[in-house]
Amino acid sequence: MKNARYDVLALGNAIVDVIARAEEDFLVAHELTKGAMMLIDEPRAETLYAAMGPAKVISGGSAANTIAGLASFGGKGAFIGKVKQDELGKLYRHDLTSQGVSFDTAFAAEGPATARSFIFVTPDGERTMNTYLGACQGLTVADVDKATVQNADIIYLEGYLWDPPAAKEAFRKASEFAHAAGGRVAITLSDSFCVDRYRDEFLGLIRNRLVDIVFANEHELKSLYQTGDFDSALSALRAENIIAAVTRSEKGALAVTPDGIVAEPVFPVERIVDSTGAGDLFAAGFLFGLTSGREVRDSLRLGALAAAEIISHVGARPDVNLKVLASDNGLL
C-alpha cells in the first residue's frame, strides 16, 4: 500500500514473558511437558512463579515479538492487544512503545489480570511454556480501530488468539477493513495444536482470501493438511496460490509464491541458548523485507538473520539493533 503510515499492524495476545532457566528434574517435579505450551489458570500461575528461579521479565506474545523485531529493523509497526491497567499491563505498554511500536489499545479497567507466560529454558535451549491468558482474551471488535488498520500495508494476525470468539470476530473485521483499503493480511498458524483445533477455519481463511500471506513451521503445515509427509503438505500449500513462509528449524526456511518455491539456509549460530521467539523474529525479518520492497529471497535471509540472533540469548526480543546487524551482514 503506497504511503501507508505503518508497514505492519499486528493483532495478538499481549503477554508478559517470565523467563527462567530450569533443569530437567524441575519439569518432572512440576509435571511440565517439555517443549509444549500449556494453558494454565491463575492459581497454577502463582504456584509456578513461586517455584521458579531468578527470572527475566519482558513484554511478549508472538505477534508483539514480531512487531518489536520489525521496529528493530527500522520498520514502522503498530500493535493491537489487551492488557489490564495493572503493574504488568503498564510495564507491557511501556516496554513495547519504548521500542518504537505504536500501541494505543485501551487498558481493561476490570476483569482478569494481565496475561503472563512462564517460560522454562532447559540447558539444551528448549523452552517449555505455561501461559495464563488473563486479560488478553478480552480483545474485541471495539478494539479494532478502522483508521489504524487502513493505515497499514500489512496486518498480521496471531493464530493463538483464535480461541476467544470475540477476538476471532476482531480478526475478521480487521481483515475486512484492510482489504477494503487495499492492504494485505497475514496470519501465523502459531502452534500445531492450534491448527488441530481450527484446521477447517484456517483453511477457510486461506481459500476465501481473507488472508494473503501465511506463516507456519513444518509441524503446523503438516497438521494443516493432515499428513506426516512434508513434501505432500508443501504441494497442498502451493495449490492454494498464495504467499507463504515456512520455517524448518536447522533446515532453514522457504517461501512459497505463485511463481514457485525459494529456499534459504539458516544463519549459523555458535550455540542455541533459547529457542523462544525464533519463529516470531523470522516473521519480523520476512515482513520487513516484503514491506520494504525486497525480493522474496532477501526477505527469507532477513528472517533467518533475526531468528539466529534471537536463539543466541535468553528472551524473545532482540539484544542488538537488527538494522545494524543486517547492514553488517550485507543485507541492507
CB 308 within 8 A of CB 268: yes
Query: 6-13+61-111+136-328, which class in CATH?
Result: alpha beta
3 state SS of 139: coil
In total, the chain counts a number of residues equal to 332
What's the pLDDT at 2?
Answer: 54
Q: What are the CA-CA distances from residue 237 to residues 193, 225, 258, 309 (Å)? A: 19, 8, 10, 28
pLDDT one-digit tens code per residue, 244-264: 999 998 999 999 998 999 999
| Residue ranges of domains in the chain | 6-13+61-111+136-328
DSSP designation for 134: G
Evaluate if residue 145 carries a pLDDT over 90: yes
| Mean pLDDT value across the chain | 93
What's the pLDDT at 164?
Answer: 87
pLDDT one-digit tens code per residue, 90-131: 999 999 999 999 999 999 999 999 999 999 999 988 889 999
What's the pLDDT at 98?
Answer: 95
- Which residue did the predictor score with more confidence, 56 or 135? 135
Confidence of residue 1 (pLDDT cuts 50, 70, 90): low
At 210, the amino acid letter reads: L
pLDDT one-digit tens code per residue, 99-108: 999 999 999 9
pLDDT one-digit tens code per residue, 7-24: 999 999 999 989 899 999
What's the pLDDT at 102?
Answer: 96
